[in-house]
Amino acid sequence: MIFDEKFISKLKNARSLVFFTGAGISAESGIPTFRGKDGIWNKLKPEELANFNAFLKNPDMVWEWYQYRRKIVNESKPNPGHTAIKDFENHYDVSVVTQNVDNLHGRAGSNNIYELHGNIERNYCIDCLKPFSIEHYRAESKGVPKCLECGGLVRPDVVWFGEMLPQKIFADAERKAEHCDICFIAGTSAVVYPAAYIPVSARQHGAFLVEINIESTEISHHVDYSIFGNSGEILPEIYKAARSFFN
């Protein structure tokens, strides 16, 4: 794969990289995206599912939807895009700022991961906040589980619409974005805020922005370089080019 000269020279001189990722980076692992042509939001309205009031109104339905998504995640594995991001750690200071809740970056072995929207494998009680691992529910019968301590409803540890992002994680991720040389924006429609401010912060502090997507997005007119195609194919090619600088 041939890349733009200016990008290659940026990559050669870069020290720190941020990978800002969204659902598209997990599409090649078989996990449906939210807004693409086969996105899960097409059938279901996010407001009806990924928000606290929906959960209170119909906890079993929302819980079952997450159980369905967990099943897909458990049957999937990291793809070459996740692995390439991990490999960049061999030669650069790498931070992964992800909107995904599927933990595929963690399973690919990446180290500095900032999960802005939580992690579908974690749960907690809405009343006493006691954490519950997903193992606890594998055999669980249908419907939302109750807290063993206080009997409260147990929910997935993800950030729903209208909920604040984990403040320290967001602040730390923003600092990484402000100090990186290149910010890759891979597999995201960049429509969800405040997460979508991350690449904007990077840009405001002089980072070189590279978008990797199968189509143009809300952020395309703000980036320095757009590479169209599957992130699972493009990221390994970029890593191959970078590795040649260090051999």
Residues of this chain that interact with Zn ion (CB under 5 A) are 125, 127-128, 130, 147, 149-150, 152
C-alpha Rg value of the chain to the nearest Å:
19
Contact with ligand BV8 (CB under 6 A) among 213, 227, 235, 242: 213
Question: Does the footprint of ligand BV8 cover residue 117 (CB under 6 A)?
Answer: yes
Question: Does the footprint of ligand BV8 cover residue 44 (CB under 6 A)?
Answer: no
Q: CB under 5 to 8 A by kind: which of Zn ion, ligand BV8, none does 152 bind?
A: Zn ion
Report the largest interatomic distance among the alpha carbons of the chain, rounded to a whole angstrom. 60
Q: How far is the CB of 141 from ligand BV8 (least distance, A)?
A: 23
- HEC letters along 59-120: HHHHHHHHHHHHHHHHCCCCCHHHHHHHHHHHCCEEEEEECCCCCHHHHHCCCCEEECCEEE
Q: For this structure, is 117 an active site residue? A: yes
Q: How far is the CB of 26 from ligand BV8 (least distance, A)?
A: 9
- CB closer to ligand BV8 out of 92 and 170: 170
- HEC letters along 155-190: EEEECCCCCCCCHHHHHHHHHHHHCCCEEEEECCCC
Residue 211 forms beta bridges with which residues? 185, 226
Helix H or strand E encompassing 204: helix 197-204
Q: CB under 5 to 8 A by kind: which of Zn ion, ligand BV8, none does 67 bind?
A: none
Q: CB under 5 to 8 A by kind: which of ligand BV8, Zn ion, none does 128 bind?
A: Zn ion
Question: Does the footprint of ligand BV8 cover residue 100 (CB under 6 A)?
Answer: yes
CA distances from 192 to 7, 102, 116, 147, 195 (A): 27, 17, 11, 31, 6
Strands 16-21 vs 182-186: parallel, antiparallel or unpaired: parallel
Neighbours of 129 (CB within 10 A): 11
- Contact pattern from residue 215 through residue 234 relative to ligand BV8, giving x for each residue in contact according to CB under 6 A and a dash for the rest: x-x------------xx---
Residue type at position 236: P
Of residues 82, 91, 105, 117, which has the active-site annotation? 117
Contact with ligand BV8 (CB under 6 A) among 188, 209, 219, 239: 188
Question: Does the footprint of ligand BV8 cover residue 26 (CB under 6 A)?
Answer: no
Q: How far is the CB of 15 from ligand BV8 (least distance, A)?
A: 26
Contact with ligand BV8 (CB under 6 A) among 96, 97, 104, 159: 159
Question: Does the footprint of ligand BV8 cover residue 242 (CB under 6 A)?
Answer: no
Angle of the 197-204 helix axis to the 167-178 helix axis, nearest 10: 30
Known catalytic residues are: 117
